[in-house]
Structure 1
Amino acid sequence: MTTPEAVSPLLPADAERRLHPGSWLFVLLQNLRQFIVPLAVLLFAGGRRDDGYPWWLPMLGVGALVVVSIWQYLTFRYRIADDRLIVRSGLLERSVRQIPYSRIHNVAIHQSLLHRLIGVAEVRLESAGGTKPEAEMRVLRLPEALALEQLIRDRGSAPATAAADGAAPPAPAGTTLLALSTIEVVKLGLISNRGMIVVAGAVALSFQVLPERTMGRWLFEGGREAFGYASGFATTWLAKGMVLAAFVAVALALIRAFSVLLALVRYHGFRLQRQGRRLTVERGLLSRSRSSVPRRRIQAWTLRESVLHRLFARRTLEIDTASARAGDGQGNANGQRGLDALAPIAPPDTCDAILRDIAVLPAWPPAEWRPLHPRAWLRLLLGDALLTAVLCGVLAWFFQWWGALGLLWLPWSGFVARRHAARAGYAIDDALVAVREGWWSRHWRLAEIGKLQAVELRQSPLDRGFGMASVWLDTAGAGALAPQLRLRLLPLSDAERLHARLAAAIARRPLRW
C-alpha cells in the first residue's frame, strides 16, 4: 500500500459515489461465512435422504444471499463534503449517516489475498465510541481507499476555517518511526510463542467437537507408542527419559516454528509511520492491513519486557485507545478494531524514542523512580505466605505430611518479593504518571494526567496493618489483558497526598480524547 499523491481527481467533492462493482461478491462471501453452518446442515441432511428431500433447498438460501448482496451494493452511496462524509444506504428502510472527519478515530484498510488479487480494499471508519464502525465500505479500489484515508487525515486535523473553505493543508510527508525486517519478525515469533496458544485452543476445541474421550484416547495412544518406541532402543530408565525429553524438545521446537510462521503472516512488512498528527501502521503477509489513528486518541502506553525479550535485547510497546477492543487491531472482519502495538518488537532505545516522539515526553525515561514503602517486600511475602499456608493445609489433609513440602516454596517467594519491591517504582510530574512493576517479566505503564478518568485510594486489611495504601488510576480503552495503572504499596501519607493531587488535577482539566 502506498499513499497517493493526489486526492481530488479520485474523490471529487459533492458527488455521490458507488462502491467497486465487485463489492457485492465480498458482501456475499461475508454473509456466507455467517450462514455456512445452517447451509451445510441443510445440504448434508438432503444428501443422506432417499425420500425425495429437496436437495436444492440450500441453493435457495445461497440465491437469497446473492440477492441481498447485490441489493446492498445498488443502494449504498457515499459523498465527500467539506467537513464530513455522508453515507446513504437502504431502499425500503433508508439511512443517511453523516460522519464529521474530526470525529473519526481510526481509518482501517484491510486487504485479504482475494482483495489484493483484484486490487481493492475494505475500509472501516471508526469513532471513539460504539461497538461497531461508523461506516463500512466493502469494497473500494485501492487508490480510492488510500485517497479517502488521506482526505480524512488532512481534513480531520485541519482548522475549522480551512474546512469551511473546502481546503485542507497539504499532507505532511510521512516519517517512518519503525520498520521490522524479516529477522525481527522471526525474533518476535520466538518471543511471543503464539503457537502454544493456538495449539492449546485447538486441543480445547477438539474436546468439545470430537466424540467423547476421542482426544484423550489419541493422546494416550500416542504417548504409549512414543514410550514403546523409546523402549525399543533404550534399555535403561535414564536412556528412556532422555529419549522422551528429546521428543518433548522436538514438539516444543515445532510449536516455536509455528509461532514464527504466525508472526510472519501477521507482521510481515510492518511499518509504523507518523503523518502529521496521525499514526499509521501497515502489516501482513497474505492479508495486508493498514490502520490509522490520531495521536490524541491514545489514552495510555505499556512497555513489556519478558525474559525472552531481555535475551534478544528487545521490548514491546503497546497503546490503549478510546475505542479499543480485544483483538489484533487489524480492523478486519473478525471484529478487531484500533491499534494495539506500535512496536511489536524493537530495541529499548527505539521504544523510548517512539515514546518521546509521539507522546511528546522529552524526559522519558524518568531520571528518578520513587520507591515503594520500605516494607513493601514483607507485605508481598505475607500475602503469598498466607495463600501458601492454606494450600499446604489442604494438601496435608489429603496427603498427610507430603503436603507440607509446599512450604519449601516460601524461600523462593521471599526472594521474588524482595526483587519485585526493589524494581517497582513510580514517577509523576505535572503532565505524566508512570509506574514500573515486575522482576521476571517487567512492564512500564504510563498515561498523561489529562487522559485520566478516575482516581481511587485502596487499602486492604494487610495494607492497613503495614500503614500502606495504593492509588488506582483509570483510563479509557484499557484492555482486559493490559496491566493496571496503579501506584502500589506506598506509605499512607504519600498515597493520600498523591490521591488528592491527582483528583484535583483531573477535576481541573477537561477530558482529552
Structure 2
Amino acid sequence: MSAPGSTVSPDDESTRADRRLHPMSWLFVLIQQLKQFIVPLAALLVFGRGDRNELWPLIGVGALVVVALWRYFTYRYGIGSNAVVVRSGLFNRSLRVIPFVRIQNVALHQTVLHRLFGVAEVRMESAGSKEPEAQMRVLKLDDALALEALVRRRGAAVAEDQAEDSADVLLRLPPVEVLRLGLVSNGGLVLIGAALAGLSQYTPDFNARVPGRIGSQATHWLSGHVEAYHLDAIGVALIAVALIALIAGLLKLLSIVLALLRYYGFELSEHGRRLTAERGLLGRWRTTVPRRRIQAWTLEEGLMHRLLKRRGLSVDTVGAEANEDGRSLKELAPIATPQACDALIERLLPRAAWDRLEWRALPDAAWWRLFLPDVPWTLLAVFSLYWQVGAWSALALLWLPWAAFKAQRRTRRIGYAIGEVLIAVREGWWRRSWRFAELDKLQALQLTRSPLDRSCGTATLWLDTAGAGALAPPLRIRFLPEDEARQIYARLAAILSQRPLRW
C-alpha cells in the first residue's frame, strides 16, 4: 500500500529493502507452523490412542523447514524517508510500501525463546486491514525497539514529536495487584475447558472413555471411604463440599499463575498521543496504539472485584487483530482501584466530565421485564424433573423469588447518561458494567421494538461503534418509553450529522 496521491517506484531510493531478518528467524517461523501438531501429539502420548492418521502431516516437517529457510533468504525490509518497505518472495515477488502515517499499531512480542535469543516479533497494523500490514519474525530486540520508536516519531506531526520524546507512566501493576487479578479472573476454568475441548476433538473416544473412567474411580474412592469410616449422610455431604472446594481452589490457583504469566510487570504509558502497554513474565508483549483509535470504553466489576475494591478498564480499538490472540491493546487497567480507573478516564478523556455525568434510571416498574424470561425456563425445569423425582421437582419453583429479587436489583442499576462529549450506559447487579463512547465515535443508531415493547410502549436504542468485541457488554439503552427513545435518537442523529466521523 502507499499513501494516497503518491506514486512509488521500485527503484526509488526510499523503497530500498536491504535489511535481513535475524539469522534465527527461520526457527521461529518453523515453530509457528508446527503448533498445529502439538495437540495430536499430546493426545497420543497421554492416552495412547487416537487416530494416528492425523500424524501423517508430520512427514511434511522437512518441507516446512525448507519453507522457513526460503522465507528467511527471500525476505528483506528497509526504512525509507516516510515509509517501511518490505520485499518477499523469489518466483512470486511482492513489494509492500507502508507509509508511517498509515501505521496505527506497532506490537512487539517476546516468548521465552525470543528472550533467550534476544529477539522480538514485530507487527505493524493499520485501521482497515484484517491482517498485519507487515509481520517481521524476527528482529533483534534493539532493532525492533528502534523501529517502533521510528514509526512513532515519523508517523506524528512535528509538534507531537516533541511531546513524545518523554513517556508518562499512567499505571503500573505491582505483583500483589497481579495476584488480585488472578483471584477475580476465571482463566484457570477457561484453560481447562479449552484443553478438554481440544482433547475431545483429537481423541475420538475421549468423551466415551475418559469421563466414565474418572467418574467410576471417584465413586469407588468415595464409597470406600464411606464404608471404612462409617460416614453418614452429613459426612458424605462434607466430603463432597470439600472436594468441590479443593477443585475450586486449584482452578483459582491456576488462574493466579496464568495472571502472573500474562500481566506481570504491566505498565501503561503515554507517548504524546499514543498509548503503550507492556506486560508478561516469561513472554513479553509490548503494544502501541494511537489514542484516536479507541472507539468505546468498558468498566467492569464482579463480586470479587467489589470485595477487593477493584475494577477493570478495557477499550475497543480499530485495527488489525483488534480482538485476537491477546496481543492488541485492549486492557488499559486489568485491575485497579475505582479511583485509579476514574483518573485514567479523566486523563485520556479530559472533556468528557466522566465523574459529573447525570445518570437517568429506569422506572422501578420495569423489573418484571427482566424477570419474565426466567418463568418459562423454571416451569420447563419443573416439568422435566417431575419424571425423575416426582413432587420434589416443585422445589425448582424456589428459583422464581430469587429471580424476582435479582430483576429488581438489576433494574435499579440500569441507567444512561448523555453529556456534551460522552454517552454512557450502565447495567448489572451481580456483575456490573459501565459502557461509554464519545459521541464522535458513534457509527450507527438503531431503534428497535419487539412485540412486547409495542404492547408496553417502550423501545431499545442500540449504539454501534467500530471494533466492538463479541464478549463486550452491548452499548444499548433498554426499556425506554417510546417518546423518550425517539427524542434521544433524534438528538444523537442530529449530532452525528453535524460532526465528522473520527477514527
TM-score for the superposition, normalised by structure 2 = 0.87
Unaligned segments of structure 2, at least 5 residues? 1-12, 44-55
Cα distance, 1:202 vs structure 2: 2.6
Map of 2:246 onto structure 1 = 250
- 2:443 aligned residue (429, 453, 459): 453
Q: Kindly tell me: are residues 290 and 102 of structure 1, through their superposed partners in 2, closer, same or farther at Cα, counting changes over 3 Å?
A: same
Cα distance, 1:39 vs structure 2: 11
Map of 2:79 onto structure 1 = 80
Query: Are positions 1:178 and 2:192 aligned together?
Result: no
Map of 1:352 onto structure 2 = 342
**Which residues in structure 2 correspond to 1:31-180 (within 5 Å)?**
31-34=33-36, 61-158=60-157, 169=162, 171-180=164-173
Q: Kindly tell me: are residues 113 and 511 of structure 1, through their superposed partners in 2, closer, same or farther at Cα, counting changes over 3 Å?
A: same
Map of 1:198 onto structure 2 = 191
Q: Kindly tell me: are residues 500 and 290 of structure 1, through their superposed partners in 2, closer, same or farther at Cα, counting changes over 3 Å?
A: same
Query: Are positions 1:504 and 2:500 aligned together?
Result: no
Residues 347-382 of structure 1: per-residue CA shift (max 9 Å, x gap): 111111111112334521344211113422133233
Map of 1:230 onto structure 2 = 225
Contact 2:40 2:202 in 1 (8 A): no
Aligned counterparts of 1:227 and 1:64: Cα–Cα separation in 2: 52
Query: Are positions 1:214 and 2:209 aligned together?
Result: yes
Q: Kindly tell me: are residues 361 and 415 of structure 1, through their superposed partners in 2, closer, same or farther at Cα, counting changes over 3 Å?
A: farther
User: Secondary structure of the residue that 1:365 maps to in structure 2?
Assistant: helix
Aligned counterparts of 1:35 and 1:463: Cα–Cα separation in 2: 51
Residues 307-327 of structure 1: per-residue CA shift (max 9 Å, x gap): 010011111111111135444
Aligned counterparts of 1:344 and 1:37: Cα–Cα separation in 2: 30
Aligned counterparts of 1:318 and 1:79: Cα–Cα separation in 2: 35
Q: Kindly tell me: are residues 420 and 37 of structure 1, through their superposed partners in 2, closer, same or farther at Cα, counting changes over 3 Å?
A: closer
Q: Kindly tell me: are residues 13 and 145 of structure 1, through their superposed partners in 2, closer, same or farther at Cα, counting changes over 3 Å?
A: farther
Aligned counterparts of 2:390 and 2:453: Cα–Cα separation in 1: 34
Residues 82-113 of structure 1: per-residue CA shift (max 9 Å, x gap): 22211111121111111121221211101111
Q: Kindly tell me: are residues 234 and 347 of structure 1, through their superposed partners in 2, closer, same or farther at Cα, counting changes over 3 Å?
A: farther
Q: Kindly tell me: are residues 139 and 267 of structure 1, through their superposed partners in 2, closer, same or farther at Cα, counting changes over 3 Å?
A: same
**Which residues in structure 2 correspond to 1:458-497 (within 5 Å)?**
458-497=448-487
Which moved further from structure 2: 88-97 or 206-215? 206-215
Which moved further from structure 2: 82-91 or 274-283? 82-91
Cα distance, 1:342 vs structure 2: 1.0
Contact 1:195 1:259 in 2 (8 A): yes
Which moved further from structure 2: 380-389 or 81-90? 380-389
Map of 1:7 onto structure 2 = none
Query: Are positions 1:407 and 2:397 aligned together?
Result: yes
Contact 1:379 1:463 in 2 (8 A): no
- The one-letter code sitting in structure 1 at the alignment partner of 2:433 is H
Residues 397-453 of structure 1: per-residue CA shift (max 9 Å, x gap): 887655444333222222112111111110102211000000111000000111111
Aligned counterparts of 1:195 and 1:38: Cα–Cα separation in 2: 22
Map of 2:286 onto structure 1 = 290
Which moved further from structure 2: 132-141 or 240-249? 240-249
Query: Are positions 1:379 and 2:369 aligned together?
Result: yes
Which moved further from structure 2: 95-104 or 259-268? 95-104
Which moved further from structure 2: 362-371 or 261-270? 362-371
Query: Are positions 1:271 and 2:270 aligned together?
Result: no
Residues 161-214 of structure 1: per-residue CA shift (max 9 Å, x gap): x99xxxx54733111111111111111111102111222233333444442521
Aligned counterparts of 1:226 and 1:300: Cα–Cα separation in 2: 52
**Count of residue correspondences:** 474
CA RMSD of aligned residues (A): 2.7
Which moved further from structure 2: 202-211 or 292-301? 202-211
- The one-letter code sitting in structure 2 at the alignment partner of 1:30 is Q
Cα distance, 1:18 vs structure 2: 1.7
Query: Are positions 1:329 and 2:331 aligned together?
Result: no
- The one-letter code sitting in structure 2 at the alignment partner of 1:241 is A
TM-score for the superposition, normalised by structure 1 = 0.86
Identity of aligned residues (%): 51
